[in-house]
């Protein structure tokens, strides 16, 4: 399911919406002001590359087979 990024042309707020298909209705309501004058674009998805360890705690101990 693609995620579209919308910009409300009435209040200029930005929001995202899950869309079931490319043929979805063009009229989307802004969650901030209720306006239906919106501009649709693609939202970029997040992907991890490079095998980074961000957010992983390290303890300094070894995880080699056979060690206790």
**In-domain check, residue 34:** yes
Structural domain for 26, as ranges: 3-42
Give the separation between CA 39 and CA 11, rounded to whole angstroms. 12
**In-domain check, residue 9:** yes
For residue 1, pLDDT beyond 90: no
**In-domain check, residue 26:** yes
- Total number of domains in the chain: 1
Give the separation between CA 37 and CA 24, rounded to whole angstroms. 16
Nearest CA-CA partner of 31 in 6, 62, 3: 6
**In-domain check, residue 61:** no
Residues composing the chain: 68
Q: Which residue has the higher pLDDT, 12 or 50?
A: 12
**In-domain check, residue 31:** yes
13 pLDDT tier (thresholds 50, 70, 90)? very high
pTM over 0.75: no
Q: Which two tokens stand for residue 51?
A: 């095998």
**In-domain check, residue 13:** yes
Q: Please tell me the predicted confidence (pLDDT) of residue 37.
A: 93
**In-domain check, residue 15:** yes
């Amino acid at each position: 399911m693609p995620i579209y990024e919308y910009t409300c042309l009435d209040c200029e707020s930005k929001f995202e919406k899950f869309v079931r298909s490319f043929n979805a209705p063009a009229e989307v309501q802004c969650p901030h002001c209720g306006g239906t004058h919106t501009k649709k674009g693609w939202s970029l998805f997040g992907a991890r590359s490079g095998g980074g360890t961000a957010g992983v705690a390290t303890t300094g101990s070894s995880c080699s087979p056979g060690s206790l």
